[in-house]
Amino acid sequence: MVTGAAIGPSSPSSRKECGSSKITNTAGSCKSKGHLWAGTAAAVTISTLLIISGSAPPTVAFPAGMKSAPSAGSKPGPKEPRELRELRDPHSFEALVHEPEKGQPGQQLPLLLYLHGAGEQAGGLRDILSEGATGTPPVELAKGSALSILADRFVVVAPHTSRGWRPEAVGKFLDFLLDSSSSGLQLDPRRLYITGHSMGGAGALMAAAATRRFAAVVPVAPSGAPKPADLRGIPVWAFHGRNDIIVPSQVSEQLLEALRRSEPSDDARLTLYDDAPAPVGWPDYLGHASTIPAYAMPELYDWLLSHQLPNAAPKDRDLSGDT
């Protein structure tokens, strides 16, 4: 089981993107090289360690040319709060669901599956919408402040767990969602995307690697990851705060460096924030709330929609362990 600390964000953070680089930094200017330290990166308990080790830090080039991230309010979202309906699969999870209002009857829509962090584990389904999770897709949709591209283009499903995110359980839940007679959803099996924060970020990576059924994965401050080889061929865009003391950014840095080395042609990206905010109600120095600047980027959703599986994804392979 993947475990870790996770809560949500409070305010936007600036960053700089260095051209077409697969690594983005948030400093005032792009550096010729950025060090990705390979030391211990564990302030939380995680089940899988990344496979970069040794005392010498690898380096990654940052090409010239940058653009600023948009602010959270740069693209208008829904004018009114939206009620998220509840959905329950008796064999896996209960969830909150958002469906675009402008969808055509029978139209298959892309899915964004959001996995919450450990901070929402102890409560019930509606705790996914707690103040501490501000900035996450379900919270911003419920408030009516989500970006229009998210609200109008994606079916967003946010399941709740009290036992961590097991890949086999996520796979079963995906089967349920794709069965329109059970879920009531019309989903495009070629455009299935998964994201999550902290524990949920780790869970998203694990599920993407184990099931091979997601067209792209977006981990935000993930508390762990599978072996990079298991993610080969899956587009990854990770987000993390350099100032995060709940889950150090080395977790994401090491993962993306390993992906870059093992398969340079894969679409693997990392955006780092120098001044990520803290979760609502937490001390400012914690830096664990990189969710709010990440999910406020219209480019993220354009990037997701640019990826799709070539054919309808097969059911997940035989996965060991209970659900």
**Could you report the per-residue pLDDT of 163-207, keeping only the tens digit for each?**
999 999 999 999 999 999 999 999 999 999 999 999 999 999 999
* Mean pLDDT of the 242-252 span: 96
Q: Which of 39-43, 69-73, 297-301 has the lowest mean pLDDT?
A: 39-43
d(CA 139, CA 304): 20
CB-based contact 117:159 (threshold 8 Å):
no
Strand 85-88, strand 94-98: pairing = antiparallel
The mean predicted confidence, pLDDT, of the chain is: 77
Query: Where in the chain are the domains?
Result: 16-69+79-305
Higher pLDDT, 198 or 73: 198
Q: What is the mean pLDDT of residues 269-296?
A: 91
Q: How are beta strands 94-98 and 109-115 bridged, if at all?
A: unpaired
The top-scoring range by mean pLDDT among 24-33, 61-70, 270-279 is: 270-279
| Residues 195, 198: Cα–Cα separation, whole Å | 10
For residues 217 and 234, give the distance between their C-alpha atoms in angstroms, rounded to a whole number.
Answer: 7
**Where residue 283 falls among pLDDT bands split at 50, 70, 90?**
confident
pTM of the full predicted structure?
A: 0.76
Q: Higher model confidence: residue 102 or residue 119?
A: 119
pLDDT at site 322: 41
CATH superfamily of 16-69+79-305: Alpha/Beta hydrolase fold, catalytic domain (3.40.50.1820)
Q: State the SS3 of the chain.
A: CCCCCCCCCCCCCCCEEECCCCEECCCCCCCCEEECCCCCCCCCCCCCCCCCCCCCCCEEECCCCEEECCCCCCCCCCCCCCCCEEEECCCCCEEEEECCCCCCCCCCEEEEEEECCHHHCCCCHHHHHCHHHCCCHHHHHHHCCCCHHHHHHCEEEEEECCCCCCHHHHHHHHHHHHCHHHHCCCEEEEEEEEEEECHHHHHHHHHHHHHCCCCEEEEECCCCCCCHHHHCCCCEEEEEECCCCCCCCHHHHHHHHHHHHHCCCCCEEEEEECCCCCCCCCCHHHCCCCHHHHHCCHHHHHHHHCCCCCCCCCCCCCCCCCC
**Range with lowest mean pLDDT among 3-7, 78-82, 108-112:** 3-7
Class of residue 102 by CB neighbours under 10 A (exposed 0-12, middle 13-18, buried 19+):
exposed
Chain-centroid distance, C-alpha 209: 14
Residue-level pLDDT at 48 = 30
Q: Is residue 68 scored above 90 in pLDDT?
A: no
- For residue 60, the model assigns a pLDDT of 29
